[in-house]
Structure 1
């Protein structure tokens, strides 16, 4: 407890799945959390749960691909808390993983890139001035093992997650003089609501588990614990790296 005491964190995609769990555990560690997502009903429920358990939380409906909306989020966080220490860029979509590559539209491809990758760029550029004011911060971009190894289907998704990995590395080098650390997190298969919405989900789950040396999927909490480490001062010498949490999936 209290590993993040006194810090202010923004978590995108926080209405459900890994984002919601990250928000709850970050709040449990003492941070004041600001949640964003497009689902207001679920955002409100997660925020209320955090408050009921004694934490500090606020939220805003937010399209992460919209730079103007990022401005509104930042203004509200500063109004409420006066500073920003942590950004967790968690929001993402899978996109079309059923159609053959040659049949996927440019519109669909760009939509995935905008939500999964461009949003991380906008989020980073939005918080950097405020992290410079407090002489440091931690930015955590949630990527995927799909950003490290290829897979059939979902080229937009893997492209966006690979981009997230190198976006993080480039930003880490550029922002190191300001004590702003940037890292990416790469989950393997996790049984989230987004995963369950995939076509042929049960077949995909079976394949993913069989391809994981630990022979199971990950838990949302297991990803969140990695995020907390990167958000905390315990990782003060960690920047520009990718934290792979995948049960050994990419080890062979």
Structure 2
């Protein structure tokens, strides 16, 4: 009788422990999702790692979901090699295809290619890479928005570049480099407006940005129901 009671208590204790662990995993998952939605990808990644750690080797639908969100956070942080490796593992474990995440990785690589093209003054290649990135589903992305503004500036479309940088700086006021560009463009637009007789060639002179490739920075991601 005592043995039965002992095993019953032991079983109950293990069940409660597993239940507590599962709740802890879910809590870290939700913390990660909340951080990701706020644009705090680094914090999100930490919480997703903790959620997987607290899973203690268990693999199931919940862990697949957490790993998918982890890949998204890595994409936002520009950790594309890690994102690719984890996405490959996720596909192997779950047997599912995560096309949206794969397209986002490809799109972020295209943004880097666009930056390289802008560095080389290859505006045609830059335009092609930016358009292809958007076709792959990349929209509200900080680096995409910045490189679009840079492209317009390099192409001599001063008013459009000014409008784009204005919008960008309103979203990311901490970016002092972009703020300097906005000041330059504001003066440029005013100067052109004051002298309408300038030739088309003269209007398109005045290059900025010695380097266009910048670290991928965090943006505010939309919720991501990948399945």
TM over 0.5: same fold?
Answer: no
Task: Name the TM-score class by shorter chain.
Answer: under 0.3
Structure whose alpha-carbon radius of gyration is higher: 2
TM (normalized to structure 1)? 0.23
Given the two structures, how large is their TM-score scaled by the length of structure 2? 0.25
More strand by share: 1
* Larger helix share, 1 or 2: 2
